[in-house]
Amino acid sequence: MTSPLRRALLGLALSTSLLAGCAPALLVPPERGSGDMGLVIERESGSIGVLDTSARTRLGTIEGLGDLSHASVVFARDGASAYVFGRDGALTKVNLRSGRIEGRVMQAGNSIGGAISQDGTLVVAQNYQPGGIKVFDARTLAPLADIPAVVDGKASRVVGLADLPGRRFIYSLFDAGQTWIVDLADPARPLLTKFENIGKQPYDALISPDGRYYIAGLFGEDGLAKIDLWAPQPRVERILPGYGKGEQPLPVFKMPHLRGWSIAGRHAYLPAIGRREVLVVDTETWKEVGRIPVAGQPVFVMARPDGRQVWVNFAVPDYDTVQVIDTQTRQVVHSLKPGKAVLHMEFTPRGDAVWISARDDHHIAVIDTASFKTLALLPARSPSGIFFTSRAARMGF
């Protein structure tokens, strides 16, 4: 028979457990910094796992983030807070050190990403439904501006959002074939610069690490649209006319994100859509200078921080494979199988290791980039995107 004291202790334990579930607190000492932390999206459970990249451990879980089937993350300047953009239109601010949700707003019906301003004061969400962008105070998530993407009376889905120096952002309109720059020096009076007729159906975009070039991929035609933002009078130029659907229609098993490109030194490495190749592009001329055969259709083509290696993952049926390219020889130097359904990779800030999510094996593999040995396997529920706080110091991330 259970004694009254034992029943009381069990009741206390239960109430403490429930309280912890409502307001989880991670065992992170207050004196530690956030520079070696990160998170992983658990897409099917609406949660994120908080990671320690130095100890190669998982510190805890933050629940209640809604639909994360397509989610992206940006970080506050101090790296302690992250802003999670969910497929259901929610924008959630989480504190990685405390493990608490600090704010959450359902800002749209369908959102696919966002960005944070150079000074860290503004967070902007790009939306499919109802389209356009919305601007929020980064500290409180108070709404500051709602900028529709409407051309000729029709709303457009927004893609390719990236931060620019100053309180400026650049993004593309999928349905209207345009790219806009918004200056939010005063969010109550946004100033728009519009580039029209950039090409048919820009589906994603990236900005070069120095913030100079904005490049939008075109789903409706071959080639890409490039804007040199350093030019006195920026204009749209077409580059890589053979990129896109290719010389003839090819089956595409998974459309690569342009954020999966990498620029290492003078060259950009990008996935050849529908082909088992990585394209090499000279960023001085923006012309193709080589192709590297790989195991499958590449999705993410990511450079190690020092630019010496490029790591590639693939669409089905080769999505259990990762290959490593040496950028000096432009040859594949290693192949590995870190798990089933590799969805994302993230390098530690100085590139000593890469963290790889394997959705169908429910784990993250931590791989040494010099020896290619597995350093750790960490549990995660259907993991997808991995994001480290070092992104807080990088433009376009």
| C-alpha to C-alpha distance for 302 and 270, rounded to whole angstroms | 9
Walk across the sheet containing 158-164 and list its strands: 158-164, 168-173, 178-183, 191-195
Asked if residue 57 belongs to a domain, the reply is no
Nearest-angstrom CA–CA distance, 85 and 91: 5
Residue 81 in any domain: the answer is no
How many structural domains does the chain have? 2
Q: How confident is the model at residue 20 (pLDDT cuts 50, 70, 90)?
A: very low
Domain end call among 248, 279, 301 = 248
With a cut of 80, say whether residue 58 has pLDDT above it.
yes
Contacts of 181 (CB under 8 A, 6+ apart): 164, 168, 169, 170, 192, 193, 195
For 183-225, the pLDDT digits (tens) are 999 999 999 999 999 999 998 898 998 899 999 988 888 889 9
Range of the domain at 282: 255-337
With 70 as the cut, is the pLDDT of residue 13 above it? no
250, pLDDT greater than 70: no
Instruction: State whether 207 and 313 are in the same domain.
Output: no
Stretch 250-269: mean pLDDT:
78
pLDDT category at 29 given cuts 50, 70, 90 is confident
Residue 302: partners with Cβ closer than 8 Å, 6 or more residues away: 260, 262, 310, 311, 312, 345, 347
- Both 176 and 275 in one domain: the answer is no
Q: Which of 227, 248, 269 is the last residue of a domain?
A: 248
DSSP 68-121: -SS-EEEE-TTSSEEEEE-TTSEEEEEETTTTEEEEEEE--SEEEEEEE-TTS-
Q: Is the pLDDT of residue 2 over 80?
A: no
**What pLDDT is attached to residue 8?**
34
Q: Does 184 reside within a domain?
A: yes
In a domain, 102, yes or no: no
130 and 244 in a single domain? The answer is yes
Q: Do 117 and 134 have their domain in common?
A: yes
* 68 domain residue, yes or no: no
Give the 3-state secondary structure of residue 334.
strand
Average of per-residue pLDDT across 273-279: 88
**Residue 278 CB-half CA count within 13 A:** 31
CA distance 24 to 95: 11
Under the banding of pLDDT at 50, 70 and 90, the label for residue 17 is: very low
Query: What are the tokens at 247?
Result: 């010389």
User: Is the separation of the CB atoms in 365 and 379 below 8 Å?
Assistant: no
168/218 same-domain check: yes
90 in any annotated domain: no
Query: What is the pLDDT averaged over residues 93-105?
Result: 95
Looking at the structure, tell me whether residues 217 and 116 fall in a common domain: yes
Average pLDDT over residues 107-135: 95
Neighbour count for residue 363 (Cβ, 10 Å): 20
Q: What is the CATH number of the domain that holds 210?
A: 2.130.10.10
Question: Which pLDDT score, from 0 to 100, does residue 42 have?
Answer: 97
| CA separation for the pair 294, 230 (Å, rounded) | 35
Q: How many helices (H) and strands (E) does the chain have?
A: 1, 34
**Residue 285 domain-assigned?**
yes
Residues 186 and 232 in one domain: yes
Does residue 18 register a pLDDT over 50?
no
pLDDT, tens digit, 9 for 90 and up, residues 292-347: 999 999 999 999 999 999 999 999 999 999 999 999 999 999 999 999 999 999 99
Tokens of 331: 């040859």
Q: In the prediction, which pLDDT does 219 show?
A: 83
Dihedral class, residue 66 (left if φ above 0, else alpha if ψ from -120 to 50, else beta):
left
Residues 327 and 284 in one domain: yes
For residues 179 and 195, what is the distance between their CA atoms, to the nearest angstrom?
5
What's the pLDDT score for residue 337? Answer: 98
On whether both 242 and 270 belong to a single domain, the answer is no
44 domain residue, yes or no = no
**DSSP conformation letters of 137-163:** ETTT--EEEEE--EETTEE--EEEEEE
172: left (phi over 0), alpha (psi -120 to 50) or beta: beta
Looking at per-residue confidence, does 147 or 5 come out higher?
Answer: 147
Query: Between 218 and 25, whose confidence is greater?
Result: 218
Q: Which residues contact 16 (CB under 8 A, 6 or more apart)?
A: none
Q: Average pLDDT in the 37-60 region?
A: 95
Residue 52 above 90 pLDDT?
A: yes
Q: Please report, for the domain that includes residue 265, its CATH number.
A: 2.40.10.480
Mark whether 230 and 261 lie in a shared domain. Answer: no
Choose the final residue of a domain: 289, 304, 337.
Answer: 337
Residue 297 DSSP code = -
